[in-house]
């Protein structure tokens, strides 16, 4: 199974930039999408269905904002939109699909870059998300959580760790949360296979950051430790350009 996570920064814009053509060639079994910035009736799902995908969307109440999706070549047993927490579900940040005893989640963690209020919201979300996942694992012990975490974990994951030490996305408290998240029983799949620096999934639109590879690795496939023996590979696709993010891939047997 090949699973790709991709923050498309507006799905209609990404489609106009060739997303569907790329998808027809890449053909992942599951595509987890973040930041659709669209309501379900605004998304041309027929383009994905023509490629053999079943489409599932969880949009924000606010139009043109946030939103996640999940495309699957294999019909899931069940799809759950949201976490049952209204303050988060109204922002369209979580969708889960169950395939047998494995659950695949597309998640879009909040950004705190717009100021203190949203940073506080982000930190609250992170704690509530961790608690939610701990409870979910009592019912669904095999999880693949794919998406935009909006956090660089370690200095190797960001182009300028010193200059960004006070930047949202690389704050000590955010990185400490990611330490705790992984310690609770998760594996950062990319680092199982690749320990090299300068591996990023997001670049600012400013200062030619992408062409200079001044990036951040904030998009992850996190899997529960019981799935680590099933991992077969993990890569980043920096040359795929429909967004300010790029796709991240994990290959896993199930």
> Which residues are the active-site residues?
148
DSSP class of residue 41?
G
Residue 7 CA to chain centroid, in angstroms? Answer: 7
């Amino acid at each position: 199974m090949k699973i790709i996570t991709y923050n498309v920064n507006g799905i209609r814009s990404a489609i106009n930039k060739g997303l569907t053509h790329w998808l027809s060639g890449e053909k992942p079994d599951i595509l987890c999408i973040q930041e659709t910035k669209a309501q379900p009736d605004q998304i041309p799902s027929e383009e994905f269905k023509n490629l053999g995908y079943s489409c599932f969307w969880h949009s924000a109440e606010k139009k043109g904002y946030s939103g996640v999706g999940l495309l699957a070549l294999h019909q899931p047993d069940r799809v759950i939109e949201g976490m049952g927490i209204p303050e988060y579900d109204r922002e369209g940040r979580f969708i889960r699909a169950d395939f047998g005893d494995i659950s695949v989640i597309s998640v879009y963690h909040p950004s705190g870059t717009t100021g203190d209020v949203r940073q506080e919201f982000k930190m609250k979300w992170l704690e509530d998300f961790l608690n939610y996942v701990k409870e979910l694992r009592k019912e669904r012990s095999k999880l693949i959580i794919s998406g935009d975490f909006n956090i660089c974990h370690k200095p190797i994951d960001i182009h300028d760790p010193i200059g960004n030490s006070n930047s949202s996305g690389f704050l000590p408290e955010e990185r400490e949360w990611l330490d705790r998240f992984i310690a609770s029983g998760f594996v950062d799949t990319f680092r199982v296979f690749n320990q090299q620096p300068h591996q990023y999934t997001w670049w600012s639109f400013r200062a030619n950051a992408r062409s200079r590879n001044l990036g951040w690795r904030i998009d992850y496939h996190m899997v529960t430790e019981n799935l680590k023996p099933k991992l077969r590979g993990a890569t980043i696709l920096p040359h795929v350009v429909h967004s300010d993010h790029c796709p991240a891939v994990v290959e896993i047997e199930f």
